[in-house]
Protein backbone atom coordinates (compact mmCIF):
# COMPACT_ATOMS: atom_id res chain seq x y z
CA UNK A 1 0.00 0.00 0.00
CA UNK A 2 2.86 2.36 0.90
CA UNK A 3 4.59 1.58 -2.42
CA UNK A 4 1.43 2.39 -4.34
CA UNK A 5 0.95 5.71 -2.50
CA UNK A 6 4.57 6.66 -3.09
CA UNK A 7 4.34 5.81 -6.81
CA UNK A 8 1.24 7.99 -7.21
CA UNK A 9 2.98 10.89 -5.49
CA UNK A 10 5.98 10.60 -7.82
CA UNK A 11 3.74 10.55 -10.90
CA UNK A 12 1.89 13.68 -9.69
CA UNK A 13 5.18 15.52 -9.19
CA UNK A 14 6.37 14.57 -12.68
CA UNK A 15 3.12 15.75 -14.25
CA UNK A 16 3.24 19.06 -12.38
CA UNK A 17 6.84 19.62 -13.48
CA UNK A 18 5.97 18.99 -17.14
CA UNK A 19 2.96 21.35 -17.00
CA UNK A 20 4.87 24.20 -15.36
CA UNK A 21 7.84 23.85 -17.72
CA UNK A 22 5.55 23.87 -20.74
CA UNK A 23 3.73 26.99 -19.55
CA UNK A 24 6.94 29.05 -19.33
CA UNK A 25 8.79 27.62 -22.31
CA UNK A 26 6.44 28.91 -25.01
CA UNK A 27 6.25 32.50 -23.78
CA UNK A 28 3.63 33.79 -26.28
CA UNK A 29 0.29 32.50 -27.37
CA UNK A 30 0.54 29.07 -28.99
CA UNK A 31 -1.28 28.26 -32.22
CA UNK A 32 -4.26 25.92 -32.16
CA UNK A 33 -2.05 23.19 -33.58
CA UNK A 34 0.28 23.43 -30.56
CA UNK A 35 3.22 24.56 -32.71
CA UNK A 36 4.90 27.96 -32.94
CA UNK A 37 3.28 30.86 -31.14
CA UNK A 38 0.86 33.17 -32.96
CA UNK A 39 2.46 36.54 -33.65
CA UNK A 40 0.72 39.52 -32.02
CA UNK A 41 0.80 42.76 -34.02
CA UNK A 42 -0.43 46.11 -32.69
CA UNK A 43 -1.87 48.38 -35.40
CA UNK A 44 -1.80 51.93 -33.99
CA UNK A 45 -3.42 54.49 -36.27
CA UNK A 46 -4.10 58.24 -36.03
CA UNK A 47 -7.72 57.49 -35.19
CA UNK A 48 -10.25 54.72 -35.71
CA UNK A 49 -13.17 57.11 -36.23
CA UNK A 50 -12.86 57.96 -39.93
CA UNK A 51 -13.66 55.91 -43.06
CA UNK A 52 -10.08 56.24 -44.30
CA UNK A 53 -8.55 54.72 -41.18
CA UNK A 54 -11.21 52.03 -41.08
CA UNK A 55 -10.12 51.09 -44.62
CA UNK A 56 -6.48 50.97 -43.50
CA UNK A 57 -7.51 48.80 -40.56
CA UNK A 58 -9.53 46.54 -42.85
CA UNK A 59 -6.43 45.87 -44.94
CA UNK A 60 -4.43 45.08 -41.80
CA UNK A 61 -7.09 42.65 -40.60
CA UNK A 62 -7.17 40.96 -44.03
CA UNK A 63 -3.41 40.45 -43.74
CA UNK A 64 -3.86 39.10 -40.23
CA UNK A 65 -6.24 36.46 -41.53
CA UNK A 66 -4.06 35.67 -44.55
CA UNK A 67 -0.88 35.20 -42.53
CA UNK A 68 -2.43 33.77 -39.36
CA UNK A 69 -1.39 36.52 -36.96
CA UNK A 70 -3.34 38.27 -34.21
CA UNK A 71 -4.18 41.93 -34.94
CA UNK A 72 -5.02 44.40 -32.15
CA UNK A 73 -6.13 47.88 -33.26
CA UNK A 74 -5.66 51.16 -31.39
CA UNK A 75 -6.18 54.84 -32.14
CA UNK A 76 -7.18 58.07 -30.36
CA UNK A 77 -10.67 59.56 -30.84
CA UNK A 78 -9.33 62.26 -33.20
CA UNK A 79 -6.13 62.82 -35.17
CA UNK A 80 -4.90 65.49 -32.77
CA UNK A 81 -4.77 63.00 -29.87
CA UNK A 82 -0.98 62.98 -29.96
CA UNK A 83 -0.29 62.15 -26.31
CA UNK A 84 -2.94 59.42 -26.27
CA UNK A 85 -1.38 57.79 -29.30
CA UNK A 86 2.12 57.88 -27.82
CA UNK A 87 0.73 56.20 -24.70
CA UNK A 88 -0.79 53.48 -26.91
CA UNK A 89 2.64 52.73 -28.39
CA UNK A 90 4.16 52.59 -24.91
CA UNK A 91 1.44 50.17 -23.82
CA UNK A 92 2.11 47.98 -26.85
CA UNK A 93 5.80 47.86 -25.88
CA UNK A 94 4.97 47.04 -22.26
CA UNK A 95 2.59 44.30 -23.40
CA UNK A 96 5.38 42.82 -25.56
CA UNK A 97 3.65 42.77 -28.93
CA UNK A 98 5.83 41.11 -31.55
CA UNK A 99 5.60 44.08 -33.94
CA UNK A 100 3.86 47.43 -34.37
CA UNK A 101 2.28 48.98 -37.47
CA UNK A 102 2.17 52.71 -36.78
CA UNK A 103 0.91 55.93 -38.35
CA UNK A 104 2.11 58.85 -36.20
CA UNK A 105 -0.23 61.80 -35.52
CA UNK A 106 2.83 64.02 -35.09
CA UNK A 107 6.09 62.28 -36.07
CA UNK A 108 8.46 64.43 -33.95
CA UNK A 109 6.42 63.53 -30.86
CA UNK A 110 6.82 59.83 -31.69
CA UNK A 111 10.63 59.76 -31.85
CA UNK A 112 11.18 58.86 -28.20
CA UNK A 113 8.62 56.07 -28.20
CA UNK A 114 10.01 54.57 -31.43
CA UNK A 115 13.42 54.58 -29.77
CA UNK A 116 11.85 52.65 -26.89
CA UNK A 117 10.42 50.09 -29.30
CA UNK A 118 13.81 49.61 -30.92
CA UNK A 119 15.47 49.17 -27.50
CA UNK A 120 12.82 46.56 -26.65
CA UNK A 121 13.53 44.67 -29.90
CA UNK A 122 10.04 45.33 -31.31
CA UNK A 123 10.08 46.15 -35.05
CA UNK A 124 7.92 49.10 -36.17
CA UNK A 125 6.52 49.61 -39.67
CA UNK A 126 5.53 53.24 -40.29
CA UNK A 127 2.62 53.85 -42.68
CA UNK A 128 0.87 56.84 -44.29
CA UNK A 129 2.89 59.58 -42.54
CA UNK A 130 6.71 59.50 -42.54
CA UNK A 131 9.02 60.15 -39.65
CA UNK A 132 11.15 63.35 -39.83
CA UNK A 133 13.85 63.35 -42.51
CA UNK A 134 16.64 63.61 -39.91
CA UNK A 135 15.37 60.60 -37.95
CA UNK A 136 17.42 57.49 -38.71
CA UNK A 137 15.64 54.88 -40.80
CA UNK A 138 17.60 52.29 -38.82
CA UNK A 139 15.12 52.85 -35.98
CA UNK A 140 12.16 51.42 -37.88
CA UNK A 141 11.61 48.73 -40.50
CA UNK A 142 10.21 50.72 -43.43
CA UNK A 143 7.87 53.53 -44.43
CA UNK A 144 4.86 52.68 -46.60
CA UNK A 145 3.01 55.66 -48.01
CA UNK A 146 2.31 58.21 -50.69
CA UNK A 147 4.20 61.24 -51.92
CA UNK A 148 1.97 63.73 -50.14
CA UNK A 149 3.35 66.87 -51.77
CA UNK A 150 2.77 65.32 -55.19
CA UNK A 151 -0.79 64.43 -54.17
CA UNK A 152 -1.38 68.16 -53.63
CA UNK A 153 0.10 68.97 -57.02
CA UNK A 154 -2.03 66.34 -58.78
CA UNK A 155 -5.27 67.48 -57.16
CA UNK A 156 -4.55 71.14 -57.86
CA UNK A 157 -3.78 70.43 -61.52
CA UNK A 158 -7.15 68.72 -61.81
CA UNK A 159 -8.82 71.83 -60.35
CA UNK A 160 -6.94 74.09 -62.77
CA UNK A 161 -8.73 72.39 -65.67
CA UNK A 162 -11.99 74.04 -64.60
CA UNK A 163 -11.17 77.03 -62.36
CA UNK A 164 -11.69 80.49 -63.89
CA UNK A 165 -8.62 82.63 -64.49
CA UNK A 166 -7.72 84.39 -61.24
CA UNK A 167 -10.21 82.25 -59.34
CA UNK A 168 -10.37 82.04 -55.54
CA UNK A 169 -9.65 78.85 -53.58
CA UNK A 170 -9.83 77.90 -49.89
CA UNK A 171 -7.14 75.45 -48.74
CA UNK A 172 -7.93 73.15 -45.81
CA UNK A 173 -5.20 71.18 -44.08
CA UNK A 174 -5.25 68.80 -41.12
CA UNK A 175 -4.07 69.28 -37.57
CA UNK A 176 -1.02 71.56 -37.20
CA UNK A 177 2.09 69.41 -37.08
CA UNK A 178 0.62 66.62 -39.22
CA UNK A 179 3.19 66.50 -42.05
CA UNK A 180 1.18 64.47 -44.54
CA UNK A 181 -1.68 67.00 -44.47
CA UNK A 182 0.70 69.97 -44.51
CA UNK A 183 2.61 68.59 -47.49
CA UNK A 184 -0.61 68.01 -49.43
CA UNK A 185 -1.75 71.56 -48.73
CA UNK A 186 1.71 72.90 -49.65
CA UNK A 187 1.67 71.11 -53.00
CA UNK A 188 -1.83 72.29 -53.82
CA UNK A 189 -1.25 75.89 -52.71
CA UNK A 190 1.98 76.37 -54.67
CA UNK A 191 0.54 74.82 -57.83
CA UNK A 192 -2.56 77.01 -57.66
CA UNK A 193 -0.63 80.19 -56.86
CA UNK A 194 1.83 79.55 -59.68
CA UNK A 195 -1.16 79.41 -62.04
CA UNK A 196 -2.47 82.79 -60.86
CA UNK A 197 -5.15 81.48 -58.49
CA UNK A 198 -5.86 83.50 -55.33
CA UNK A 199 -5.74 81.55 -52.05
CA UNK A 200 -8.40 83.32 -49.96
CA UNK A 201 -7.41 81.45 -46.79
CA UNK A 202 -5.60 78.38 -45.52
CA UNK A 203 -6.88 76.90 -42.30
CA UNK A 204 -6.55 73.66 -40.31
CA UNK A 205 -9.71 71.55 -40.21
CA UNK A 206 -8.17 68.70 -38.21
CA UNK A 207 -9.18 66.05 -40.77
CA UNK A 208 -12.74 66.36 -39.48
CA UNK A 209 -16.00 66.95 -41.39
CA UNK A 210 -17.63 69.12 -38.76
CA UNK A 211 -14.61 71.36 -38.34
CA UNK A 212 -14.28 71.74 -42.11
CA UNK A 213 -17.99 72.55 -42.29
CA UNK A 214 -17.54 75.29 -39.68
CA UNK A 215 -14.46 76.74 -41.40
CA UNK A 216 -16.29 76.82 -44.73
CA UNK A 217 -19.29 78.53 -43.16
CA UNK A 218 -17.05 81.21 -41.66
CA UNK A 219 -15.19 81.84 -44.91
CA UNK A 220 -18.47 82.20 -46.84
CA UNK A 221 -19.51 85.03 -44.53
CA UNK A 222 -16.77 87.17 -46.09
CA UNK A 223 -16.21 85.86 -49.60
CA UNK A 224 -17.32 83.40 -52.25
CA UNK A 225 -14.89 80.79 -53.55
CA UNK A 226 -14.45 79.01 -56.85
CA UNK A 227 -12.74 76.00 -55.38
CA UNK A 228 -11.83 74.20 -52.16
CA UNK A 229 -8.81 71.99 -51.57
CA UNK A 230 -9.41 69.50 -48.76
CA UNK A 231 -6.36 67.60 -47.56
CA UNK A 232 -8.58 64.60 -46.93
CA UNK A 233 -12.06 63.51 -48.03
CA UNK A 234 -13.72 64.22 -44.69
CA UNK A 235 -12.66 67.86 -44.92
CA UNK A 236 -13.73 68.10 -48.54
CA UNK A 237 -17.15 66.63 -47.81
CA UNK A 238 -17.62 68.89 -44.78
CA UNK A 239 -16.84 71.95 -46.91
CA UNK A 240 -19.17 70.72 -49.65
CA UNK A 241 -22.03 70.45 -47.18
CA UNK A 242 -21.56 74.07 -46.10
CA UNK A 243 -21.45 75.22 -49.72
CA UNK A 244 -24.60 73.27 -50.59
CA UNK A 245 -26.52 74.70 -47.63
CA UNK A 246 -25.60 78.22 -48.75
CA UNK A 247 -26.58 77.45 -52.35
CA UNK A 248 -23.00 78.06 -53.50
CA UNK A 249 -21.16 76.21 -56.26
CA UNK A 250 -17.44 75.46 -56.12
CA UNK A 251 -15.04 72.78 -57.35
CA UNK A 252 -14.12 70.74 -54.26
CA UNK A 253 -11.25 68.23 -54.28
CA UNK A 254 -10.35 65.81 -51.49
CA UNK A 255 -7.80 63.10 -50.80
CA UNK A 256 -8.09 59.42 -49.88
CA UNK A 257 -10.67 57.96 -52.28
CA UNK A 258 -13.13 56.92 -49.55
CA UNK A 259 -16.30 55.22 -50.75
CA UNK A 260 -18.49 58.18 -49.79
CA UNK A 261 -16.15 60.55 -51.64
CA UNK A 262 -16.21 58.40 -54.78
CA UNK A 263 -19.99 58.26 -54.63
CA UNK A 264 -20.06 62.04 -54.27
CA UNK A 265 -17.82 62.41 -57.34
CA UNK A 266 -20.15 60.10 -59.26
CA UNK A 267 -23.21 62.08 -58.19
CA UNK A 268 -21.76 65.49 -59.05
CA UNK A 269 -20.86 66.63 -55.52
CA UNK A 270 -17.08 66.53 -55.11
CA UNK A 271 -15.17 67.42 -58.25
CA UNK A 272 -12.40 64.88 -57.60
CA UNK A 273 -10.53 62.89 -54.99
CA UNK A 274 -6.90 61.78 -55.12
CA UNK A 275 -7.11 58.19 -53.95
CA UNK A 276 -4.67 56.46 -51.66
CA UNK A 277 -4.30 52.71 -51.46
CA UNK A 278 -5.46 52.72 -47.85
CA UNK A 279 -6.24 49.02 -47.61
CA UNK A 280 -2.90 48.15 -49.20
CA UNK A 281 -1.04 50.30 -46.68
CA UNK A 282 -2.66 48.34 -43.86
CA UNK A 283 -2.10 44.99 -45.55
CA UNK A 284 1.52 45.65 -46.49
CA UNK A 285 2.20 47.12 -43.06
CA UNK A 286 1.31 43.80 -41.45
CA UNK A 287 3.06 41.75 -44.13
CA UNK A 288 6.37 43.60 -43.72
CA UNK A 289 6.05 43.59 -39.94
CA UNK A 290 5.90 39.78 -40.12
CA UNK A 291 8.93 39.76 -42.45
CA UNK A 292 10.87 41.88 -39.95
CA UNK A 293 9.99 39.58 -37.04
CA UNK A 294 11.23 36.65 -39.14
CA UNK A 295 14.49 38.42 -39.97
CA UNK A 296 13.76 39.09 -43.64
CA UNK A 297 15.21 42.18 -45.36
CA UNK A 298 12.70 44.94 -46.21
CA UNK A 299 13.17 48.00 -48.43
CA UNK A 300 13.26 51.25 -46.45
CA UNK A 301 10.63 53.01 -48.60
CA UNK A 302 7.58 51.48 -50.27
CA UNK A 303 5.41 53.74 -52.44
CA UNK A 304 1.63 53.50 -52.62
CA UNK A 305 -0.20 54.44 -55.87
CA UNK A 306 -2.36 57.61 -55.90
CA UNK A 307 -4.78 57.84 -58.86
CA UNK A 308 -6.93 60.95 -59.38
CA UNK A 309 -10.61 59.96 -59.43
CA UNK A 310 -12.99 62.16 -61.42
CA UNK A 311 -16.47 61.75 -62.84
CA UNK A 312 -14.90 60.39 -66.05
CA UNK A 313 -13.25 57.40 -64.37
CA UNK A 314 -15.05 56.96 -61.05
CA UNK A 315 -17.09 53.97 -62.25
CA UNK A 316 -14.01 51.73 -62.39
CA UNK A 317 -13.15 52.59 -58.77
CA UNK A 318 -16.62 51.90 -57.42
CA UNK A 319 -16.73 48.28 -58.59
pLDDT mean by block of 10 residues, the chain; 319 residues: 38 34 35 67 96 96 98 96 97 98 97 98 96 95 95 98 97 92 97 98 96 98 97 97 98 96 98 94 97 96 93 93
Instruction: Report strand pairing: 227-230 vs 272-275.
Output: unpaired
Residues 152, 185 contacting (CB under 8 angstroms): yes
Give the pLDDT confidence score for residue 319 in this predicted structure.
74
Note whether 115 and 158 are same-domain residues. Answer: no
CA 32 – CA 56 distance, rounded (Å): 28
Global pTM exceeds 0.75: yes
What pLDDT, in 10s, does the model give residues 41-80?
A: 999 999 999 999 999 999 999 999 999 999 999 999 999 9
Give the pLDDT confidence score for residue 296 in this predicted structure.
97
Number of helices and strands in the chain (H, E): 11, 12
Q: How many CA atoms lie within 13 Å of 160's alpha carbon, on the beta-carbon side? A: 17
Note whether 270 and 287 are same-domain residues. Answer: no
Overall domain count for the chain: 2
Q: Is residue 317 part of a domain?
A: no
SS3 sequence of 208-276: CHHHHHHHHHHHHCCCCCCEEEECCHHHHHHHHHHHHHCCCCCEEEEEECCHHHHHHHHCCCCCEEEEC
Give the pLDDT confidence score for residue 6 in this predicted structure.
42
Element (H, E) at 277: none
Note whether 186 and 210 are same-domain residues. Answer: yes
Q: Is residue 10 part of a domain?
A: no
Note whether 135 and 153 are same-domain residues. Answer: no
Give the pLDDT confidence score for residue 304 in this predicted structure.
86
Q: Is residue 318 part of a domain?
A: no
Residues 220, 238 contacting (CB under 8 angstroms): no
Q: Is residue 24 part of a domain?
A: no
Q: Is residue 44 part of a domain?
A: yes
Using the 8-state DSSP alphabet, how is residue 10 labeled?
H
Q: Is residue 155 part of a domain?
A: yes
Note whether 60 and 86 are same-domain residues. Answer: yes
Note whether 284 and 140 are same-domain residues. Answer: yes
Nearest to 227 by CA among 194, 186, 192: 192
Note whether 263 and 164 are same-domain residues. Answer: yes
Note whether 260 and 161 are same-domain residues. Answer: yes
Residue 84 belongs to a domain with what CATH number? 3.40.50.2300
CA 243 – CA 286 distance, rounded (Å): 40
Note whether 286 and 141 are same-domain residues. Answer: yes
Give the pLDDT confidence score for residue 35 in this predicted structure.
56
Note whether 202 and 268 are same-domain residues. Answer: yes
Give the pLDDT confidence score for residue 305 in this predicted structure.
86
Note whether 231 and 200 are same-domain residues. Answer: yes
Domain that holds residue 88: 40-145+278-303
Give the pLDDT confidence score for residue 32 in this predicted structure.
37
Note whether 66 and 93 are same-domain residues. Answer: yes
Q: How many CA atoms lie within 13 Å of 295's alpha carbon, on the beta-carbon side? A: 0
Q: Is residue 7 part of a domain?
A: no
Q: Is residue 313 part of a domain?
A: no
Amino acid sequence: MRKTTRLVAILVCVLLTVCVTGAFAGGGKESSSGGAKTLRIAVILKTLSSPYWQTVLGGAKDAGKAFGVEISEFGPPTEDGVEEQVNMVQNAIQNKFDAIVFSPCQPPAAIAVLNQAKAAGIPVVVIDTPMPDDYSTDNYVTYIGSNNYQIGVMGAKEMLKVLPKGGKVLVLEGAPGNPSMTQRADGAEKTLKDAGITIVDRQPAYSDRERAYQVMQNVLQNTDVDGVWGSNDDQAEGALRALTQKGKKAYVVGVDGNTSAKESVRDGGLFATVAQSADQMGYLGVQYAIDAVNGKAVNKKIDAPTPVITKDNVAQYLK
